[in-house]
Amino acid sequence: MSGRRPIIRVTHMTAGYGDVVLLDDLTFDVYQGEVFVILGGSGCGKSTLLKHMIGLLRPMQGSILIQGRDIAIAEGAERLKILTGIGVMYQQGALFGSMSLLENVRLPLEEYTDMPDEAMDRVAMMKLQLVGLGSAANKLPDEISGGMRKRAAIARAMALDPPILFLDEPSAGLDPVTSAELDQLIVGLARTLRITFVVVTHELASIDTIADRVIMLDKRTKGIIAEGKPQELRDHSDNPWVRQFFNREAAV
Amino acid sequence: MAGEARVMASAETAQVVLQANSDADGGLVFFIDGPLDTTTTGRAWRTALHALSQSNPRRVVVDAARLTYCDGAGAALLLELQRRQLESRGSYEIRSLNAAAQALLDLYGRSDRPGPEPASPGWSSVEQIGRATVTLWHDVVALIAFVGELCAALGRAARRPGLIRWKDVFLTAELAGVNALPIVALLGFLLGLIMAFQSAIPMREFGADIYVANLIGLSMLRELGPLLTAIILAGRSGSAFAAELGTMKVSEELDALVTMGLEPVDFLVVPRVIAAVVMTPLLAIWAGFLGLIGGAVVMRSLGFPFVTYVIQVESAVTVSDMAGGLSKAFVFGIVVAAIGCLRGLQTRSGASAVGESTTRAVVSGLVLITIVDGVFAVVFYYLGL
């Protein structure tokens, strides 16, 4: 884990909507090059936490340092620097429907680099080939399957080679084979390109394959109830709810 | 042969220098000093490819001993140089590349990856005209089919009124009818006022200004009141119906209805059409009334007593004029609501589709209003109304 250098630091973060607090006093680090998984049951605030980490929402209290910059208070150029250093894959892909896959991946390059047209095409094509979508580059998002859309969304998130990628439910709604392929892709990218992944999921199968480290959120305590490697949590957690989750038992 | 690119990547220290030098035996050597990333590669790319196309060398060497960092964009440049040398059958070599960059090149450079399928060729103008014609024909067929479907649904509703979703009817009646009262009032009043004012000036020359009352009474109640109402309805409610049903289509809510055994036409279209049919004639009366008030204001300012104006209007407008106007409004209501719903149901997928449906609902609504109005004019002429 490359010297255990934290690339994201969340410190005493409290978040919610209006008067309702969903996450209370959260503190954790994400280290460079690891696949970090945020786990939890439905409604525990996983997606809310993700939205705070990518700057869509601002926390009520606390700080979220991304590569040393606080996204909770950053404005203007500072905020842009953080945002170009992260890539996000949304649950449904959120590809722009009027553009082909290649154009979708090209868009960040057009906006943030001074590359010539041909260079942008090459780079965008390379990213698509990396996720196995080279032959579908000219297709519209409507014309491809859900799994392909998610892979294309990863390619777009990687367009500017950000050191951090956020993935929201990468395997939701996919068949086990496609989902496993996507997991392989994530692990491959993390190992070869040394990208840091922050993944929100509740698919047990993918957690085993991809996760270096896991935090588990809980609705009742509004905080982290477990942190560590997935195998350790399953076998040695002293929290019954954590063991239930990993062993797929219904709550009694 | 020498080129150089110096790029300041950001306020920090990232900077790359790419130098292109010819060596003794006609080869081209690129020295790279600094990081090749998304911010620096653009300039380096231009310099390198410019130098390459200028000298067309047999042999290209990239000296990467001082390459500090390389990301996907940098890898793309190194691979592009390689691709061009392969194409021109020249040789290509990268010297002293660090391990991380080499791993990146291996990852991106695997040649077994499929390239893009060729994009479909564009259509010729003849083909475009043909396709547009076919599309138009399909649209007409769809319209006719929808009219049939709607009639059947309305028939079912008339036989068993208990099945109609009255809650939806009243809600739509409020949104499309009651909430439209202010805008209809404003436009009706202004229309009456402006028409009276504009016509009073020339008519006064002939001493015929009392007949402005006839003009306002007849035109507002028989023609312009219903037309104005229908146009406002198309803009306010036809578009709203299309957007509402279109969004339901995009989010698969319509499919959900169908799988529950509920016909979207019965469930969604019938309540809207009933509401529009009831509200349009009422709004047309309202528009006509406000138009008459607008006329009254002008007539009053011309010195005619209010009573004179009222008597003149009463003598000019017959019950059949009134009935003609209301029957038009009735049909306009059906047409605008139905076309709004149809465009909503026809929505394709994607974010832009809903906007497209809304536009089509308003445009088709206006076109159909014009056509129906023309038909009414002919029918009224032959009936002697």
Q: Which of B39, B49, B122, B99 is nearest to B74 (CA)?
A: B39
Average pLDDT, chain B: 87
Report pLDDT for B3: 41
**Under DSSP, is residue A171 helix (H, G, I), strand (E, B) or coil?**
coil
Answer yes or no: do A134 and B71 touch at CB < 8 A.
no
| Alpha-carbon span A206 to B67, nearest angstrom | 37
What is the tens place of the pLDDT at every residue in B369-384?
A: 999 999 999 999 998 8
* A216: pLDDT strictly greater than 70: yes
Report pLDDT for B137: 94
Q: Which of B93, B67, B76 is nearest to B41 (CA)?
A: B76
Report pLDDT for A3: 55
Q: Which residues of B49-82 are buried (b: 16+ CB within 10 A; e: fewer)?
A: bebbeeeebeebbbbbeebbebbbbbbbbbbbbb
| Weakest-pLDDT range from A144-153, A233-242, B38-47, B231-240 | A233-242
Q: Which of B226, B198, B374 is nearest to B295 (CA)?
A: B198
Answer yes or no: do B45 and A116 touch at CB < 8 A.
yes
The better pLDDT of the pair B335, A244 is held by: B335
What mean pLDDT is predicted for residues B52-63?
A: 84
Average pLDDT, chain A: 84
Query: What does the angle CA B26 – CA B28 – CA B30 come to, to the nearest 5 degrees?
Result: 160
* A251: pLDDT strictly greater than 60: no
Q: Which of B41, B39, B75, B15 is nearest to A112 (CA)?
A: B39
* B10: pLDDT strictly greater than 90: no
* B2: pLDDT strictly greater than 70: no
CA nearest to A122 within chain B: B76
Which pLDDT band holds residue B287 (cuts at 50, 70, 90)? very high
What is the tens place of the pLDDT at every residue in A107-144?
A: 888 888 888 888 888 889 888 888 888 888 888 888 88
Q: Which residues of A198-228 are buried (b: 16+ CB within 10 A; e: fewer)?
A: bbbbbbeebbebbbbbbbbbbeeebbbbbee
Q: Please state, in angstroms and as integers, the Cα–Cα distance from residue A120 to each residue in A25, A40, A149, following that order.
A: 43, 39, 21
> Do the Cβ atoms of B71 and B14 come closer than 8 Å?
no
User: How far off is chain A from B149, nearest CA to CA, in Å?
Assistant: 29
Q: Which residues, at least 6 apart from A125, have a Cβ–Cβ distance to it below 8 Å?
A: A102, A134, A137, B115, B116
| Alpha-carbon span B293 to B45, nearest angstrom | 73
Answer yes or no: do B76 and A123 touch at CB < 8 A.
yes
Residues of B with a Cβ under 8 Å from any A Cβ are 10, 37-39, 41-43, 45-46, 49, 71-73, 75-77, 79-80, 103-104, 107-108, 113-119, 349-352
Q: Which of B241, B218, B232, B199 is nearest to B320 (CA)?
A: B218
Interface mutation target, options A113, A131, A148, chain B, most CBs of B under 10 Å: A113
Q: Which amino acid is at B139?
A: D
Report pLDDT for B119: 67
Answer yes or no: do A97 and B351 touch at CB < 8 A.
yes
Determine the angle formed by the axes of helices B270-301 and B125-159, rounding to 10 degrees. 100
Which pLDDT band holds residue A100 (cuts at 50, 70, 90)? confident
What is the tens place of the pLDDT at every residue in B159-182?
A: 988 888 888 899 999 999 999 999
Furthest C-alpha separation in chain B = 108
Answer yes or no: do B349 and A97 touch at CB < 8 A.
yes
Look up tokens 């692990």; give the residue: A187
What is the tens place of the pLDDT at every residue in B92-114?
A: 888 888 888 888 888 887 755 66
User: How far off is chain B from A125, nearest CA to CA, in Å?
Assistant: 8
Answer yes or no: do B119 and A138 touch at CB < 8 A.
yes
Q: What is the CA radius of gyration of chain B?
A: 36
Answer yes or no: do B72 and A158 touch at CB < 8 A.
yes
CA nearest to B12 within chain A: A81
Report pLDDT for B282: 96
Residues of A with a Cβ under 8 Å from any B Cβ are 81, 97-98, 102, 109, 112-116, 119, 122-123, 125-127, 129-130, 132, 134-138, 142, 158, 160-161, 192-193
Q: What are phi and psi of B344, to 5 degrees?
A: -60, -45
What is the tens place of the pLDDT at every residue in A168-207?
A: 888 877 788 878 888 888 888 888 888 899 999 877 778 8
Interface mutation target, options B6, B16, B37, B38, chain A, most CBs of A under 10 Å: B38
What is the tens place of the pLDDT at every residue in A9-52?
A: 888 988 888 788 888 888 888 988 888 999 887 778 888 888 88
CA nearest to B9 within chain A: A113
**Chain A residues near residue B113 by CB distance under 8 angstroms:** 129, 132, 134
Which pLDDT band holds residue B15 (cuts at 50, 70, 90)? confident
* B4: pLDDT strictly greater than 70: no
What mean pLDDT is predicted for residues A85-103?
A: 85
What mean pLDDT is predicted for residues B221-248?
A: 94
| Alpha-carbon span A56 to A83, nearest angstrom | 11
What mean pLDDT is predicted for residues B279-308?
A: 94
Beta strands (DSSP E) in chain A are 6-17, 20-31, 35-40, 61-66, 69-70, 86-89, 164-168, 196-200, 213-218, 223-228
Which pLDDT band holds residue B195 (cuts at 50, 70, 90)? very high
What mean pLDDT is predicted for residues B223-245?
A: 95
Report pLDDT for B114: 67
* B311: pLDDT strictly greater than 90: yes
Q: Which of A196-210, B6-20, B214-228 has the highest mean pLDDT?
A: B214-228
| Alpha-carbon span A81 to B360, nearest angstrom | 42
Which pLDDT band holds residue B14 (cuts at 50, 70, 90)? low
